[in-house]
A and B are shown apart, each in its own frame.
Chain A
Amino acid sequence: MSDVISSNFVRRDLLAERPAPVKTTGFIGLMRTRLFNSPTNILLTILGALLLWFTIVPSVKFLMVDAVWSGKDRAACLTENAGFAVGACWPYIQAKLPQLIYGFYPEAERWRVNLTLLLAVVLLLPLLIPRLPAKSLNAGLFFVAFPVVAFFLLHGGGIKGFGLSWTAGLLQLFDESIVGAGQALLTSSRTSAIGPLLWGLGSLIVLLGTVIHWLIFPLTWLRDYIQGTGQPVWADFAVTAAIVCVIAFVLGGGVRTGGRALASSIATFIGIAVVIRLLDLDHGGLPIVTTNLWGGLLVTLVVSVTGIVTSLPIGIALALGRRSTIPLIRVFSIAFIEFWRGVPLITVLFFATYMLPLFLPGNFTVDGLVRALIGIALFTGAYQAENVRGGLAAIPRGQSEAAAALGLSWWKTTSLIVLPQALRHVIPNLVNSFISLFKDTSLVSIVALFDLLGSLRASFADPKWSTPSTAFTGFAFAGIIYFLFCFGMSRYSLFVERRLNAHRRN
């Protein structure tokens, strides 16, 4: 303890300052480390700058500096009249803007399109912001209620009956088709080698048809009675609402717990009644605007929104079918998915336009837009199925085993435990397929529908605006619209992905 070292060294004077380290942050640092740190890098920087110079500068010059901003017809956009090399011809876009957005939708009725777009935005925005509550109600409104309202707003027209009449009509159609098939079997049994077998099968089917006919007789009788009254829509509505409310009440657990189901179904029917009243659906509704008058951005949005809304249920069903252990269903799902994924969309659209009408009964014509929509729904459904399957595969087995241990049925396990988690996982992928769907909607212009690109192409043919720069201006405008939509969606998908993976970040 005593031998304390006495010669402790304590420095008396300050050390000389060292030079500051070379700056590696900020603009100067960036230039030093990432742009000009070696001869090769300097060369590459010059190359990059040249590339930018030869693309950005001419584009800006074309779109802004050399552009013509006002005028009445092509004369304003010609070099000899303007006095300089004319760039973009913006008056052409101003003149064609209604056509590019609404197509040939009648001018007096365009408020309906605007209202639909407004509704879509109001419903979609809260759905996209994760912090806001009531997601299931919001999703239900957007994915189920909105398409129906949008159909009656955009297309117009009214309804002649309601749930009961439709159900009765569908069942009757089904019954007639079954009886027809049975009759066909009976007639072919007379000439066939396996006649008795066909005869037996045919008689069985006809018998089945007759049984169904008598089973649905109360429904058809009620339908005929309702159609005879003075207010068929409202009478039918009241009957349907009463039946559905009672069913919901009973299924919801009767007196003990059924109150909630009853309240929500009553609220739904009140909402439907308000829509019927507002749009005057019981008296023919709004004037009908046939779809061949639709065009421009309207068609692009209608096709893409319908595509996403219809393809998601198809995709979920196919994905569940592909993972099912029941052989026939699995094989069918695999074949269906691989078929639609293996062919280009344009052949699918050709299929929907030329082949589908042949498959339907002769007296049954399908609108051109609806045909394209069916093709797109089937095509996108197959792609969504693969997305959803990825999500289903990501759910650990333990989840469904735990559900089985709790005694939940397959349907409850799937709808309450597995699917919600799986769908949350694949939101970014779903948004990505929506982006490609949005881009693919431009293909409908090939089957004579005038979407944004189709309207643009049609507007090039107008001699009133044909100038050397018309095509470039039109493509610049449409390109900006497409880019804004797709880029916005891809940023949103990145945002959701980061949010979902928040727990994995270090």
Chain B
Amino acid sequence: MSTEARKPPPQIALKIRRIMGGKAGWNGVAVQFAFAAILGWIGYEIVSNARANLENQHIAAGFGFLRNNAGFDVNQTLISYTGSDTFLRVFVVGLLNTLVVSVVGIFFATVIGFIVALCRLSPNWLLSRVGEIYVEVIRNLPLLFQILFWYLAVLAALPNPRQSISLFGIAFISNRGLVVPSPVGQGGLEPFLAVLALGIVASLALRFYARRALFQRGQVIRIWPSVLALLFGLPLATMLVFGLPFTFELPQLRGFNFAGGSRIIPEFVALTVALSTYTAAFIAEIVRAGILSVHKGQMEAGSSLGLSRGATLRLIVVPQAMRVIVPPLTNQYLNLTKNSSLAVAIGYPDLVSVFAGTSLSQTGQAIEIIAMTMGVYLLISLLTSAIMSVYGWRVSRSLGA
């Protein structure tokens, strides 16, 4: 005959108290009520003041203005846009411009950042000093200072289009910006793109298959020759069959400006250069810290297993360093995207410049426009942090922690 263990008392009152007031109990509930009352009061003040002020200035609240005609031009558009388009279209144009400068900036920042990090880690004393000077100088100057420096000093000092600096006769740099050849699609474009996409998908599938073979059967499959053939050989063969996919239209100097080619506006050049060099300094430090965080013993253990130096780096050091590098690196990418809003200082038509700047001064709809602008950036950063927490969860799961 055994006595059953008694159930613990339910303590419902305690649980309710805990849920409603935290550790502070009923005091916490009281604090919350007071806090909610204060928030409510502030909210009431804001709403009533805003309503009165908007009435005084004869501004109709609401998002109806988005359907009105904008009536101003934008000097760089990725989608077709004219002055008679709506403010909603202006919003999209600005957003796309922000995204394009961010993506280009992120690409160059990563490349420069890794190069500088390698310089700083190099055993060569002089090169590591050069890397250090770069990082210290760039990090200790404000970004806006650097943007204005590139725009007002360096790009303004370039010669006019007639005396522009030629890069191998293909691209031209002048104070009107950078003129590069523009690709013009030919007959072979569609088959070329289709084959290229096919090659990429096939290579990914091949890699997936090879990894499964490695992990399940211990079978090493060498895939790089076939991947090379898929990615380069196949498109080349298509090109021979269907003709060139596209040709380049070279820019030509006509009169005072260039004809043909596509022009990249100087604001874009200045912004990209400043953003990528600035962020690169931070990325360099992150990469350096990540690689230094891998213990020396890992490298030694790798070589004691008979792996070559390259294989040790590729299979042992870099994966461990990436775990440290990726979260702050994403943070820097996010910072770059947010910093691209400084474009408004030099008139690059990004979201803040055309929407929170020009559109705001034309319509006066401050609340709606600034809320939309902030919302876009907030959405981007929340999405990024959501992705990063999934990544962190996967990393901690793969470590078995």
- Using CB atoms and an 8 Å cutoff, list the residues of chain A in contact with chain B: 30, 34-35, 41, 44-45, 47-49, 51-52, 177-178, 180-181, 184, 324-330, 332, 338-339, 341-344, 346-347, 350-351, 354-355, 357-362, 410, 435, 439-443, 445-446, 453, 457, 460, 468, 471-472, 475, 478-479, 482-483, 486-487, 490
- List residues of chain B with CB within 8 A of the CB of A479: 141, 145, 149
Q: Does B181 contact A (CB under 8 A)?
A: no
Q: How far is the CA of A343 from the CA of B341 in the complex (A)?
A: 10
Docked pose: A351 CA to B24 CA in angstroms: 36
| Assembly CA distance A497 to B370 (angstroms) | 40
Query: Which of B41-49, B172-180, B216-224, B260-268 contacts the other chain?
Result: B41-49
Check B344–A49 contact: CB distance below 8 A.
no
Residues of chain A with a CB closer than 8 A to B341's CB: 344, 346-347
In the complex the two chains form, what is the Cα distance from A435 to B292 in whole Å? 25
Beta-carbon contact of A177 and B142 below 8 Å: no
Query: What's the nearest-Cβ distance from chain A to residue B43, in Å?
Result: 10
The residue in A347, A478, A490 that gathers the most chain B C-beta atoms within 10 A of its C-beta is A347
* Contact among A47, A178, A181, A442 with B142 in the assembled complex (CB-CB below 8 Å): A442
Contact B35 A358, beta carbon cutoff 8 Å: no
Residues of B within 8 A of A358 (CB): 49-50, 53-54, 366-367
Instruction: Identify which of A34, A184, A328 contacts B125 (C-beta below 8 A).
Output: A34
Bound CA–CA A487/B135 (angstroms): 11
The reply to whether B377 and A453 form a contact with Cβ atoms under 8 Å apart is no
Interface of A is mostly: helix
Does B52 reach chain A (CB closer than 8 Å)? yes
A328 to B34, CA, bound (A): 11
Q: What are 24 A-B residue pairs whose CB atoms fall within 8 Å in the complex?
A: A41-B123, A41-B124, A44-B126, A48-B130, A177-B45, A181-B41, A325-B23, A326-B24, A328-B32, A341-B381, A346-B344, A347-B356, A347-B370, A347-B373, A350-B360, A350-B373, A359-B45, A362-B49, A439-B143, A446-B342, A457-B152, A471-B157, A475-B148, A482-B140
A347, B142: Cβ atoms under 8 Å?
Answer: no
Residues in A with CB closer than 8 Å to B167 are none
4 closest A-B pairs (Cβ-Cβ)?
Answer: A325-B22, A34-B125, A48-B126, A486-B140
Q: Which of B141, B149, B381 has the most CB of A within 10 A?
A: B141
Chain B residues 327 to 374 lying within 8 A of chain A, measured CB to CB, are 338-339, 341-342, 344-345, 352, 356, 360, 366-367, 370, 373-374
CA distance A359 to B50 in the complex (A): 5
Contact status B31-A453, CB under 8 Å:
no
Closest-by-CB residue of B relative to A460 is B152
Task: Report the minimum CB–CB distance from A374 to chain B (whole Å).
Answer: 14
CB distance from A495 to the nearest CB of B (A): 16
Chain B residues with CB under 8 Å of A48's CB are 124, 126-127, 129-130
Knowing that A35-B124, A443-B144 touch, tell me 13 more A-B residue pairs with CB under 8 angstroms: A51-B130, A181-B44, A327-B20, A327-B22, A351-B370, A355-B367, A360-B49, A362-B52, A442-B144, A446-B344, A453-B142, A471-B153, A486-B140
Please indicate the chain B residues that have their CB under 8 angstroms from the CB of A472 in the complex: 153, 157
Chain B positions 8-56 with a Cβ under 8 Å from a chain A Cβ: 19-24, 28, 31-32, 35-36, 39, 41, 44-46, 48-50, 52-54, 56
CA distance A362 to B49 in the complex (A): 7
Instruction: Give B365 Cβ to nearest chain A Cβ, in Å.
Output: 10
Partner of A487, one of B19, B140, B374: B140
Residue of A nearest to B373 (CB): A347
Query: Are A355 and B370 closer than 8 Å at their CB atoms?
Result: yes
Nearest residue (CB) in B for A486 is B140
Closest CB in chain A relative to B152 CB, distance in Å? 5
Q: Which B residues are in CB contact (< 8 Å) with A343?
A: 338, 374, 377-378, 381
B73: Cβ under 8 A from any A Cβ: no
A347 touches B148 (CB 8 A): no
Q: How many Å lie between the Cα of A439 and that of B142 in the bound state?
A: 5
B residues whose Cβ falls under 8 Å from a Cβ of A: 19-24, 28, 31-32, 35-36, 39, 41, 44-46, 48-50, 52-54, 56, 122-127, 129-130, 136-137, 139-145, 148-149, 152-153, 156-157, 338-339, 341-342, 344-345, 352, 356, 360, 366-367, 370, 373-374, 377-378, 381-382
Assess the A45–B124 pair: CB atoms within 8 A.
yes
Assuming the A-B contacts A332-B35, A355-B370, A362-B49, are A483 and B140 also in contact, with contact meaning beta carbons closer than 8 angstroms in the complex? Answer: yes
Q: State A326–B374 Cα separation when bound (angstroms).
A: 28
The one of B22, B122, B142, B153 that contacts A440, using a Cβ cutoff of 8 Å:
B142
Complex Cα gap A181–B49 (Å):
12
Known: A35-B124, A479-B141. A342 touches B377 (CB 8 A): yes
* CB–CB A457/B148 < 8 A: yes
Q: In the complex, which residues of chain B have a beta carbon less than 8 angstroms from the beta carbon of A324?
A: 22
Distance in angstroms from A300 CB to nearest chain B CB is 10
Q: Output the nearest chain A residue to B365 by Cβ-Cβ distance.
A: A354
Report chain A residues within 8 Å CB of B367: 355, 358
Known: A358-B49, A471-B157, A472-B153. A344 touches B377 (CB 8 A): yes
Tell me the smallest distance from the CB of B138 to a CB of chain A, in Å: 10
Given contacts A181-B44, A351-B374, contact A482 B142 (CB under 8 A): yes
Q: How far is the CB of B139 from chain A (nearest CB, A)?
A: 8
A410 to B22, CA, bound (A): 13
Contacts of A41 in B (CB 8 A): 123-124
With A326-B22, A343-B377 as given contacts, are A45 and B366 in contact (CB-CB < 8 Å)?
A: no
Determine which of B32, B56, B141 lies in contact with A439 in the assembled complex, contact meaning CB atoms within 8 Å: B141
- Taken together as a complex, chains A and B put the C-alpha atoms of A89 and B117 apart, in Å, by 36
CA distance A371 to B142 in the complex (A): 22
**CA A441 to CA B142, docked complex, whole Å:** 9
* A429–B40 CA distance with the chains assembled, in angstroms: 34
Which chain B residues lie closer than 8 Å to A453 at the CB level? 142, 144-145, 148
Assembled-state Cα–Cα distance A308/B179 (Å): 45
Query: B21: which A residues are within 8 A, CB to CB?
Result: 326-327
Contacting residues, chain B, for A475 (C-beta < 8 A): 145, 148-149, 152-153
Give A49 to B124 CA distance when docked, in angstroms. Answer: 11
A354 to B359, CA, bound (A): 13
| B137 partner residues in chain A, CB cutoff 8 A | 483
Nearest opposing residue in chain B for A174, CB measure: B41
A344 & B339 in contact (Cβ 8 Å cutoff): yes
* Chain B nearest Cβ from A459, distance in angstroms: 12
Residue in A closest to B384 when the chains form the complex, CB atoms:
A342
Q: Which residue of B lies closest to A56 (CB)?
A: B133
Inside 8 A of B339's CB, which chain A residues have their CB? 344
Q: Which residue of A lies closest to B360 (CB)?
A: A354
B143 and A47 contact, CB distance less than 8 A: no
Residues of A within 8 A of B45 (CB): 177, 359
Q: CB-CB < 8 A to A478: which residues of B?
A: 145
A354 and B370 contact, Cβ closer than 8 Å, known pairs A181-B41, A446-B344: yes
Chain B residues whose CB sits within 8 angstroms of the CB of A51 once the complex forms: 130
